[in-house]
């Protein structure tokens, strides 16, 4: 059974940093791309960042470029989202999602339950 378990969500001050983790199991981790998708309060879903199966290719939505990085440790079956210089508008539930391919396509066949990030003074 595929499982994605996010952790690391917390309350953080504007300008601060936070690292989210997503521990994966139940599939061949090195074969699939992974993404982070968020939902801000009262808003729709928004893709944030993606990483290819090898980790060579990474992608970001414009609003987080230069502030967030995505990485993966294929020896630990874990993907990370490093969030720096956070802003109030980064407040959201962050979901980890597994792509159906080794590259990011927007086709996420499994999702985690999410972890809450709250940016507040």
Cα(3)–Cα(7) distance, integer angstroms: 13
Confirm if 4 and 22 have CB atoms less than 8 A apart.
yes
b/e sequence 69-103, b meaning 16+ C-beta within 10 Å: bbebeeeebbbbbebeebeeebbbbbbbbbbeeee
Residues 8-67 that bind other proteins (CB under 8 A): 35, 37, 39, 44-47, 50, 59-62
Return the range that interacts with other proteins (CB under 8 A); candidates 21-29, 69-77, 81-89, 96-104.
96-104
Cα(18)–Cα(43) distance, integer angstroms: 22
Q: Nearer Cβ to other proteins, position 15 or 109?
A: 109
Q: What angle do CA 28, 92, 74 make, to 5 degrees?
A: 20
The CB-of-23 to other proteins minimum distance in angstroms stands at 15
Among 14, 15, 26, 107, binds other proteins (CB under 8 A): 107
Return the range that interacts with other proteins (CB under 8 A); candidates 18-26, 68-76, 84-92, 95-103.
95-103
Residues that bind other proteins (CB under 8 A): 35, 37, 39, 44-47, 50, 59-62, 93, 95, 97, 100, 104-109, 111-114
């Amino acid at each position: 059974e595929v499982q994605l378990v996010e952790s690391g969500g917390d309350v953080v001050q504007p300008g601060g940093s936070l690292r989210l983790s997503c521990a994966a199991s139940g599939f061949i981790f090195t074969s699939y791309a992974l993404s982070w998708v968020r939902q801000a309060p009262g808003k729709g879903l928004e893709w944030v960042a993606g990483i290819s199966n090898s980790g060579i290719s990474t992608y970001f939505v414009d609003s987080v470029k230069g502030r967030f990085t995505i990485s993966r440790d294929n020896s630990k079956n874990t993907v990370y989202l490093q969030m720096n210089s956070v802003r109030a508008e980064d407040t959201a539930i962050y979901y980890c999602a597994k792509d159906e391919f080794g590259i990011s396509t927007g086709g996420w066949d499994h999702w985690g339950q999410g972890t809450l990030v709250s940016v507040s003074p």
